[in-house]
Structures are given as structure tokens and as C-alpha cells.
Amino acid sequence: MTFSHETPKPPLSEAKTRAIVRMLLCFLPLVGMGIDLIAPSLPAINQVLHISPMVAKDLIAIYLVGLMSGTFLSGILSDTWGRRRLMLGGFILLVVVSVIPPLYPYPSILLLSRLLQGLAIGTFGVLARSVIADLLTGTALLRTASWIATMWGIGPIIGPIIGGYLEVYIGWQACFLFFAVYGLIGAVTCFLWLPETHHKHKRASLSLKRIKNNFAILLPDKIFVSVSALMGCLYSTLIIFNTLGPFFIEKKLGHSPIFFGHAAFCLGLIFLSGTFCCRILVKYVDPQKILSIGMPIVLIFSLMGVLMTSYSHNVWAILIPTAFLFFSNGVLYPTCMGLTMSMFKELAGSAGGVTTLINLSVTMGSGFLASMISAQSSKPIAYTSAAFVFVGFVLYAWAMRSKKAEQVEA
């Protein structure tokens, strides 16, 4: 591993560090809105462009492919090229690809745009976490991780309600233009105020050997890998609801996009309240203990959804258990994020890329699975969510048991 030779720059002042962290946190809702803003428009895109419901739902799945690719590639490249210019490039790409679909409304253009939107937003998401990991350590990093999840959680809160109103009063094109404006503001802010936090004297040369060596450090850690996969399983429950929910609630039950937006808004507030609980818990409880206690609870909530939707098919049969599930995710998801961010700080970019690769590989699978499911009742939403929660529970339990066995042998 070789490093560039440059005189180390003095660390940023505490006030400057706080300002940068707050600036990045203000843009993090964009990551959460990547799916939720467009969700209320999926049925309209299906009807106006005369495409099948499966293709319309693929606008979420293909976005996740781009999100996974952007986070993985940018995380690795940022350890060599730095954070700032990659983040700036991501914002510029978001602007360009978001103005094209309203001008050329063809299914292939929409799919390509969503893929590249995911790439751009994924670049910002992983680099925002890497910059914060560059600047903070210890308890400050763990507490900021809960703020990351909180600000990300604002996206699913405001995204559906903004998307619902944009769809009803302007049309589906407005969702894409919203992303373009958000990206433009991000690009200007990044260009004017974001310094480089991963300086040349810390960077390793880009080579396949170095990437392989980093993988050899990261992937054998069972806790790191299982927690990353657990994040994907938890996030999948949100993806499943936002993919299937609009078709069940709007098309099957006959509610408007605004109703779905309000329902998703309330669920997002519940998720957000979970992240605030997480901020309190991490002050007093070890993150692994939070996960060990929380995972059985979230499994119970998912099974409650299975039971309720088996006996009732009204909208509350799915919204009530989903609310409990979202609250649990609000506690556990930032706990997982903080744990993975604190484990390999010397490889913050690569670790963030690998975490997101594992996370979004699971999430992408849930997105494609949801696109193939017909939401004629609430059962598919509850059953599929419960399946992903169960897989996450088993993975984490296996990793903890393996860790205890290794400690006994040592």
C-alpha cells in the first residue's frame, strides 16, 4: 500500500467541523427520498405511459441497482481520489439525469434516468458518511450516526407527501424536476463550502491488489458482514411497503395518492421517533446489546402483521403493524449504521462502500421481488416483510454465536 506524499494539513476547527457535519446532514433526506418521492406516482406512470405495473415498479428496483453501484464504487474510489470532487460530480450527475425524463418521457429513458439517479445519490450518501467518519471519532461518531439515520428518515417522511401533491397538482414529471433542483443546490453548496477531508498523505494508490487487501480485512469479520446484511433486511421492509403499498392502497382500495402520501408521512414520523430513541439508547447501552434485544422484538411485530392481514384486508390491517415495524427499524437501523462506521475508520470509504454493497444487495433483491408480486391484498406486503426480518434475525444470531465461539476458543 503506497501513500501520496504531502505535508499533513492542520485539523479543522471544532466550529468548522460542526458546520460541515450539519451541512451534510441537511442534504441526507435526499437519500431517503430517492424512492419515496416517486412512489405515489407509480400508478400514474403505469397509466399515462401505458407500461405494465411491473415495469413501473421496476423504477424503484433499478434505482436500487444504481444506488448500490454508486455507493460501492465511490466508496472505494474516494479512498484514493478524495471525497470532495466525487461528491460534487454526483450532484452534477443528478441534475443532468433528472431533467431528461420530463423532456423525453419514454420507458427506457425513465429506467436509465432512475439508474443514474441511484448512482448519483449513492455517491453522495456514502461520501457523506465517509466525510463524517473522517472528522469524528468515538461516542461523537456513534451519536452522529443516529443523526444520519434521523435525517435520512426525514426523506421517507416528507417524500411521499411531497410526491403525492406533486403528482395530483402537476404530474409525475415534477418528481424528476424536484431531484434536479435538489441536486443543483447540493452542487453549489459542495463547490463553495465543502473542503477535502481525506488528504493526499492519507490516500492509498488505486490498485486491484489494494482493493483485494481491503476486502480481505473487511469480509472475514462476521459481525461487520452480518450487521451490514441486517441493515438491508430492515430497509427492505420499507422498500416492500413503498413498492406494493401504492398499488394496494390506491388501485385496490381506491384511495388517492395524497392519502397514501399522508399514510407514508405518518409512518415516516414513527420511524423518525425510533431514531430519536436510538440517540438516547446509545448513550447508555452497547450497540450489540441493542441489536440482541431489538431483533426478537421486530420479529414479533412482523409476525403481528402476518396475523392481522390474514384476517382483515382493510387499510389499517397493514398500516398498524407496519407502524410498529417502522418504529423498530428507526431504533435498529442507525444502531447498525453506527456500529459499522466505527469498526474500520482507517478504511472509511471502502468500509462504507462494502457495507452499502451488502446492504443494498439485499434491498435490491427485495425491490425486484416486490416488482414481481401482485398487490391484490395486504398479505404480500406483510408476508414478504416478515420473511426479510426473519432472515436478518437468523444472520445476526449466527454471527453473535460465532463470535462467542471464537472468544471461547481464544
Residues of the chain with pLDDT under 70: 1-11, 199-207, 345-346, 348-349, 408-410
Q: Which 8-state DSSP code applies to residue 136?
A: -
Question: What is the reported pLDDT for 4?
Answer: 47
Q: Which amino acid type is present at position 181? A: V
Sign, CA dihedral 36-38-39-41, equals: positive
**Residue 3: phi, psi to the nearest 5?**
-120, 150
| Per-residue three-class SS string for 159-197 | HHHHHHHHHHHCCCHHHHHHHHHHHHHHHHHHHHHCCCC
pTM of the entire predicted model: 0.71
Q: Do residues 248 and 375 lie in contact, with contact meaning Cβ atoms separated by under 8 Å?
A: yes
Residue 245 CB partners (closer than 8 Å, separation 6+):
39, 260, 263, 264, 318, 375, 381
Phi, psi of 312 (to 5 degrees): -145, 145
| CB-count burial class (<10 Å; 0-12, 13-18, 19+) for 359 | buried
3 state SS of 377: coil
Model confidence over 247-274: pLDDT tens digits?
Answer: 888 878 888 878 887 888 888 889 888 9
- Phi first, then psi: give them for residue 278, nearest 5 degrees: -60, -40
pLDDT in the model for residue 83: 87
278: its cell numbers: 436510538
**What's the CA gap between 124 and 95, in Å, rounded?**
13
Output DSSP code: residue 251.
Answer: I
User: How many CB atoms sit inside 10 A of residue 172's CB?
Assistant: 24
Q: Which residues contact 200 (CB under 8 A, 6 or more apart)?
A: 4, 5, 6, 82
Number of other CB atoms surrounding residue 52 within 10 Å: 10
DSSP state of 105: -
Phi and psi torsions of 37, nearest 5°: -65, -35
Cβ atoms 332, 291 nearer than 8 A: yes
Instruction: Name the CATH superfamily housing domain 24-194+205-409.
Output: MFS general substrate transporter like domains (1.20.1250.20)
Residues β-bridged to residue 3: 204
Q: How far from each other are the two terminal CA atoms of the chain, in whole angstroms?
A: 30
pLDDT tens digits along 144-180? 877 887 887 788 778 888 888 888 889 889 999 999 9
CA distance 129 to 338: 10
Q: pLDDT digit string (tens) for 95-115?
A: 999 999 999 888 889 999 999
Beta bridge partners of 204: 3
Tell me phi and psi for residue 204, to 5 degrees. Answer: -100, 150
How far is the C-alpha of 402 from the C-alpha of 278, rounded, in Å? 26
**What's the pLDDT at 187?**
94
- pLDDT for the residue numbered 218: 86
